[in-house]
Amino acid sequence: MNTPSTRRRRAAASVALLAAGVAAGGCGLLGTDKKADSDGAAGQGKVTITLAGPNQWNTSGSSFGPSWEALVDAFEKREPGIEVRTQVLPLDGFIQTITTQLAAGTAPELVFNQPPHKAHEVHALDAELDKPNPYVEGNQKWLDVFKKEYFGPGVSKAVSKESGKLEYIPFNLVAIGLFYNKDAFAKAGVDQPPATWEDFRSACKKLKSAGYDPVALDKGGLAPGWTWESISTQLLDKYYDKWNAFDATGKPGTAPTVTEKSISKAIKEGALTAAGTPEVAESLKLYKEFFDCGTPNWTGVADGGATVGHRDFVSGKAAMSWGTDFAVEALKSDAKFPIGTMPFPTITKATTPLSTDAPARYGASVGGTSYMVPSTVKGEKYAATIKFLQFMSSPAVKPWLDATGGLPAIEGVEPSPETAGLLQGEWGKPFRVTGLPGGPEGTSFRDVFDGYLLGKRPLDEELPDLQKWWDRGVEAGIKKNNWGEEDWAK
């Protein structure tokens, strides 16, 4: 079933890569940074390792940017016997490139972790993570430097589904939220980012009166998915205990977040219906209200760029925009105003009696910048690679994170001022109930909701139509996941 949660990591990663300015031309041709272009003498007497992955921060086909170069320089000064080269892979081909290299045994020492691979093609790092990180004062176990809620053997997103091992090291976290134009807020008399839906309503009125579109929107699918999820997860929080039937592996039990399988069971058994569960209609009403506060002709606005409706946002036409922490470097370049970040507003009882005042939550994850070590890397190159990974999980990364807006994956490092709002309060914690679904996997949320959001289909027609999408999605999910023999699925 096409729940926002099943797409959240893909969507977040997608915007993370958009932050590199794909709309401005992408990465270009395969390239390497200035270190890779140095003559042979520069590397004599040194162990040279190469890191290969996509450029998530700018449009360069040869460099991840000055802050990355400075970080690598800092490592090489600390470890003069090691040279680190950066190989920038094209956005439209890095997955195939790395997958092919891993299978052939020709991959460089560090590769981006997202491409599909077999467990035997990369080093499991559990044993290394049990050793001290020499770049963190007083550390006894490298694993302890990471924020345990995001990375570790007990975090399902962090371990290999094939081996159950930790195969990569995260350099940062990825999180979504709303960016805002501080100058626009000041001009409109919005004293602070809206914390509740009532605050949001008030801010929208003030921003419109001041000549701004409150929210930048475009024809892409990110805003429909993220907004639907952010609203419905709040109103559904009350059903956490009632619907929580399976653990994260799909076995009977409970999970920290009610799973897609549990939601499918609730729909199949009639515990959750579009017309009979009042929070569905209420979510739809607030969903449309949010879009009515956005770019009027959003279906005609091309997507692309670091944020949703990027051109309208950076031009100052719109005051808020959905995005991830990876958007910061592009926004610093494109926007001529100071930016801030904020959580999605919390829907309280002041807005609807169906609220339990459950806070808006989304949570960060390790779906940002992470790297693996191919199993073909041995000896001194392996030792040098581990040192670089340890350095990248030490406080030394803070200048790079501050410059790029990256959110720290390790303890003791504060996020940059521009992106701190993406982890603010409860928003930085995972929601408890998966957001209401759309249709079968592969269905666009726009296919499901456009008619309603554009005012072409009334609520009383949208609800039964939505139920049909759900029913098709549940049956497709039962078939795909081989749940058909379970009693609830028959």
182-225 pLDDT, tens digit each: 999 999 999 999 999 999 999 999 999 999 999 999 999 999 99
Which CATH entry fits the domain spanning 4-174+366-426: 2.60.120.40, 3.50.50.60, 3.40.50.2000, 3.40.190.10?
A: 3.40.190.10
Q: pLDDT-based confidence at 25, cuts 50/70/90?
A: very low
Half-sphere exposure of 271 (CA within 13 A, CB side): 15
Who contacts 267 (Cβ-Cβ below 8 Å, separation ≥6)?
A: 273, 437, 470, 471, 474
Who contacts 80 (Cβ-Cβ below 8 Å, separation ≥6)?
A: 46
Residue 3 has pLDDT above 90, yes or no: no
Greatest mean pLDDT among 55-59, 252-256, 378-382? 378-382
Amino acid identity of 326? F
- Rounded mean pLDDT, 358-375: 94
Q: Which CATH architecture has domain 176-363+428-489?
A: 3-Layer(aba) Sandwich (3.40)
Least confident of 19-23, 291-295, 479-483: 19-23
| C-alpha separations of 11 from 17, 324, 373, 418, 464 in Å | 10, 10, 25, 21, 27
Report pLDDT digits (tens) over 35-84. Answer: 444 434 445 689 999 999 999 988 889 999 999 999 999 999 999 999 99
- Does an H or E element contain 451, and which? helix 445-453
Greatest mean pLDDT among 156-160, 247-251, 480-484? 480-484
Structure-model confidence comparison of residues 102 and 2, the more confident one: 102
Q: pLDDT-based confidence at 4, cuts 50/70/90?
A: low
Q: Can you give the pLDDT at residue 263?
A: 97
Token code pair at residue 212: 């701004």
Q: Can you give the pLDDT at residue 58?
A: 82
> Which among 159, 177, 125, 219 is positioned nearest to 415, based on CA atoms?
177
Q: Phi then psi for 129, rounded to 5 degrees?
A: -70, -15
Structure-model confidence comparison of residues 48 and 330, the more confident one: 48
* DSSP 8-state class, residue 106: -
Q: Is 4-174+366-426's fold the same as 176-363+428-489's?
A: yes
Q: What is the mean pLDDT of the chain?
A: 91
Structure-model confidence comparison of residues 3 and 25, the more confident one: 3
* Per-domain residue ranges of the chain: 4-174+366-426, 176-363+428-489
Residue 485 has pLDDT above 70, yes or no: yes
